[in-house]
Amino acid sequence: MNNMKAEVEVAESAVMDSEMRLIDAVYARRSVRGFLDKEVPEEVLHRIFEIAQQAPSNCNVQPWKVYIASGELKDRLRQQMVKNTAGGVKPNPDYPYHGKFENEYRKRQVDCAIALYSKMGIGRDDKPGRMRAVLRNFEFFDAPYIAFIGMDPGFEITVAVDVGMFAQTLMLTMVAFGLHSCPMGTMRNYPDLVREAFAIEDGTKILFGMSFGYEDTNVPANEARTTRDDFTTNIVFRSK
């Protein structure tokens, strides 16, 4: 009887909302690049996405489309994407990548790479090591879930701002429930594979992807930390 009561309490606690403060979630969120092979209870998953659905959007159109793969489908996509990348298959993203980072943006990019690669034991001239790091993206960092996030093909790129706000809401909610994530632009490299896997017939275009699950704290890459500039670097206040 006591065991049954304990099981009920565990089940009930799985769907209880987190009491983590928003500010704590903001500071705790980071890109995690190594996950445990551990499923998230369905009730928790559904609650996370229910909360994220409250994200703002222009005229409340809620333009995001999210396709989440796990199990055999995730493994098949992983295999296909690793094969394409390692084999040099040219990406055909629905949306172009950004231009070159220059000046302070380039410095931040380099600092981020140094923080990550140093923890992974990859030197500046270690080309095989860098290739392994690239392939880790397409292995979804061993996450039990990979989400592909896109929008209707009729929308212009400005609507992607709304999708970005949804993604941030989603990532912060995941942190509040004890999960972590890694948003990845590389997941738009082979959108046709995603459309085929999910039988997408409306032409939804893929913007980016997101690996998520429970963090594996034994993965060296997860020890990497980046910093943020003082907010006055980016923010301007004026009254006249």
pLDDT tens-digit readout, 122-141: 998 899 999 999 999 999 99
The answer, yes or no, to whether residue 9 has pLDDT greater than 50, is no
pLDDT tens-digit readout, 35-90: 999 999 999 999 999 999 999 999 999 999 999 999 999 999 999 999 999 999 99
Domain at 17-95+102-227: CATH code? 3.40.109.10
Q: What is the pLDDT of residue 74?
A: 98
Q: Per DSSP, which regions of 95-194 are E strands?
A: 145-151, 180-184
Q: What is the pLDDT of residue 89?
A: 97
Question: What are the sequence ranges of the domains in the chain?
Answer: 17-95+102-227
Place 98 in a pLDDT band, splitting at 50, 70 and 90.
confident
The answer, yes or no, to whether residue 18 has pLDDT greater than 90, is no
Q: What is the pLDDT of residue 207?
A: 97
HSE value, Cβ hemisphere, 13 Å, CA-based, for 30:
17
Q: What is the pLDDT of residue 15?
A: 63
Q: Are the CB atoms for 142 and 37 separated by under 8 Å?
A: yes
Q: What is the pLDDT of residue 3?
A: 52
The answer, yes or no, to whether residue 179 has pLDDT greater than 60, is yes
| DSSP code string of 85-117 | HHTTPPP--SSPPP----HHHHHHHHHHHHHHH
**Is residue 58 classed as helix, strand or coil in its secondary structure?**
helix
Q: What is the pLDDT of residue 7?
A: 45
Between the alpha carbon of residue 59 and those of residues 37, 63, 138, 159, the distances in Å are: 39, 10, 35, 11
